[in-house]
Amino acid sequence: MISVNNLSFKYPSGVEVLNDISFTIPKGAFVALIGQNGAGKTTLLKQFNSLLRPTTGRVLIAGIDTSSATTGKLAQKVGFLFQNPDHQIFMANVEREIGFGPKNLGLSKTEVRQRVARAAAAVGLTPYLTENPLFLSKGQRQRVAFASVLAMKPEILVLDEPTTGQDYQEGLEIMEMVKELNEQGHTIVFVTHDMELVARYAKRVIVLSQGRILLDDSCHNVFYQPAILRETNLFPPQIAKLIQKFAKQPFEFGKPLSVDEAYQEFLKYTESEPDVCCS
Amino acid sequence: MSVVVEYIAKGSFVHRLNPLTKLFWSVTLMTLSFFFRDPRMLAGLFFSIVAVAYMAGILKEMWPAFKGLLIVAGLFILFQIFFIADGKTILVLIPGIQIGHVKGIGRITDQGLWGCLAMGARMMVIAASFPVLMGTTKIKDLVVVLVEKLKIPYTYAFMFVTSLRFIPTLMQEMDQIMQAQCSRGHRLDEQNFFKKFLSLCPLAIPLIVTSVKKAERLAISMETRGFGIGARTYLYRNDFRPIDIMVNIALTFILATGLFLNLKGIIG
Amino acid sequence: MKPVITIEKLSFSYPGYSDVATNALQDISLQVAAGEFVGITGPAGAGKSTLVLCMNGIIPHFQEGDFQGKVLINNRDTFETTCAELSLQIGSVFQDPEAQIVAPTVEEELAFGLENMAIAPAEIERRISEALELIGIAHLRLRSTDELSGGQKQRVSIAAVIALRPQILILDEPTSELDPIGTMEVFEVLKKLNQEQHLTIVVVEQKVNILMEYVGRLLILKNGALVADKSPREIVNQPNLLESIGLSAPPVSQLADRLKTAGLYTQELPLTVDEAYDGLTKSFAFAKIERV
Q: Which residues contact C93 (CB under 8 A, 6 or more apart)?
A: C100, C154, C157, C158, C161, C169, C170, C171, C172, C174
ipTM exceeding the 0.90 mark:
no
Tens digit of pLDDT for each residue in A29-65?
999 999 987 778 989 999 999 999 999 999 999 999 9
Among A43, A78, A52, A42, which residue's Cα sits nearest to residue A161?
A: A42
For residue C197, what pLDDT band results from cuts at 50, 70 and 90? very high
For residue C144, the 8-state DSSP code is B
Residue B105: strand, helix, or coil:
strand
pLDDT per position as a tens digit, B26-42? 999 999 999 888 888 89
The superfamily in CATH containing domain A2-235 is P-loop containing nucleotide triphosphate hydrolases (3.40.50.300)
- Helix, strand, coil tally for chain B in percent (to 5): 70, 5, 25
User: Which candidate from B213, B214, B232 shows the least CB-CB separation from C118?
Assistant: B232
Minimum mean pLDDT among A63-72, A262-271, C13-22: which range?
Answer: C13-22
The pLDDT value given to residue A14: 76
* Residues whose CB falls within 8 Å of the CB of residue A259, separated by 6 or more in sequence, listed in order: A239, C251, C254, C255, C258
Quick one: which H or E segment has residue C244? helix C239-244
Q: Which of residues 225-244 of C touch A (CB under 8 A)?
A: none
**Taking CB atoms and an 8 Å cutoff, what residues of chain B touch C114?**
233, 235
Q: CA of C127: which chain B residue's CA is closest?
A: B235
Give the ranges where chain A is alpha helix by DSSP (H). Answer: 41-45, 71-74, 94-104, 109-123, 138-150, 168-183, 195-201, 219-223, 226-231, 238-244, 259-272
The two counts, helices (H) then strands (E), for chain C are 12, 10
Q: What is the pLDDT of residues B78-118, one digit of tens each?
A: 888 777 767 777 777 777 666 666 666 677 778 888 888 88
Question: CA-to-CA distance for B74 and A189, rounded, in angstroms?
Answer: 53
Question: Could you say which of C258, C280, C284 has the minimum Cβ distance to residue A259?
Answer: C258
pLDDT at residue C262 greater than cutoff 80: yes
Closest CB to A90: pick one of B173, B179, B201. Answer: B201
Contacts of C172 in chain B (CB under 8 A): none
**In a mutagenesis test of the A interface, which of B184, B188, B201, B212 is the best target, namely the one with the most A β-carbons within 10 Å?**
B184
In this model, does residue C265 exceed pLDDT 90?
no
- Where helices occur in B56-200 by DSSP H, the ranges are 59-80, 110-136, 139-148, 154-182, 193-198
Which secondary-structure segment (H or E) carries A8? Answer: strand A2-10
pLDDT in tens, C44-85: 888 999 999 999 999 999 998 899 999 999 999 999 999 999
What's the length of chain B?
Answer: 268
Can you give the pLDDT at residue C31? 95
Residue B189 neighbours by CB distance under 10 Å:
8
Give me the pLDDT at residue A158, please. Answer: 95
Choose the mutation target among A70, A74, A88, A136 for the interface with B, i.e. most B CBs under 10 Å. A88
Closest CA to C223 of C26, C86, C39: C26
The residues spanned by each domain of chain C are 5-249, 250-286
Give which of B225, B233, B234, B237 to mutate to test C binding, by max C Cβ within 10 Å: B225
Residue of B nearest to C163 (CA): B225
Contacts of C31 (CB under 8 A, 6+ apart): C3, C5, C6, C7
Predicted pLDDT of residue B268: 66
Rg of chain C over all Cα atoms, to the nearest angstrom: 21
Inter-chain residue contact A196 with C286, CB threshold 8 Å = no
Mean pLDDT of chain B: 85
Evaluate if residue A245 carries a pLDDT over 80. Answer: yes
Please say if the pLDDT value at position A163 is more than 70. yes
More confident residue, B188 or A101: A101
Q: How sure is the predictor about B10, in pLDDT bands with cuts at 50, 70 and 90?
A: confident
Q: How confident is the model at residue B232 (pLDDT cuts 50, 70, 90)?
A: confident
Chains touching chain A through at least 3 C-beta pairs below 8 angstroms are B, C
Choose between A71 and B87: higher pLDDT.
A71
Task: Select from A40, A29, A39 the least CA-distant residue to A2.
Answer: A29
Check pLDDT > 60 for residue B242: yes
Task: Quote the percentage of chain A above a pLDDT of 70.
Answer: 97
- How many Cβ pairs closer than 8 A exist between chain A and C? 103
Contact C283 A279 (CB under 8 A): yes
Question: Cα A44–A45–A50 angle (5° rounding)?
Answer: 95
Given this model, what pLDDT does residue B205 score? Answer: 93
Per-chain mean pLDDT for chain A: 89
What pLDDT does A226 receive? 82
Give the residue among C170, C171, C140, C167 at the shortest CA–CA distance from C156: C140
Contact criterion met (CB < 8 Å) for B180 and A104: no
Q: How far apart are the first and last CA of chain B?
A: 33
Does A43 contact B at CB distance below 8 Å?
no
pLDDT exceeds 80 at position A115 = yes
Instruction: Return the half-sphere exposure (C-beta side, CA atoms, 13 A cut-off) of residue A77.
Output: 18
> Whose CA is closest to B244, among B21, B14, B13, B11?
B21
Confidence label for B1 from pLDDT (cuts 50, 70 and 90): very low
Residues of A in contact with C149 (CB under 8 A): 37
Q: How confident is the model at residue C289 (pLDDT cuts 50, 70, 90)?
A: very low
CB-based contact (8 Å) between B38 and chain A? no
Q: Please state, in angstroms and as integers, the Cα–Cα distance from residue C155 to each residue in A71, A203, C168, C279, following that order.
A: 38, 36, 16, 34
Q: CATH classification of C5-249, choosing from 3.40.50.1000, 3.40.50.300, 3.40.50.720, 1.10.260.30?
A: 3.40.50.300
Task: Quote the CA–CA distance of A46 and A78 in Å, as a whole number.
Answer: 10
Query: Do the chains contact at A250 and C266, CB–CB below 8 Å?
Result: no
Tell whether C259 lies on the interface with A, counting CB pairs under 8 A.
yes
CB C24 within 8 A of CB C13: yes
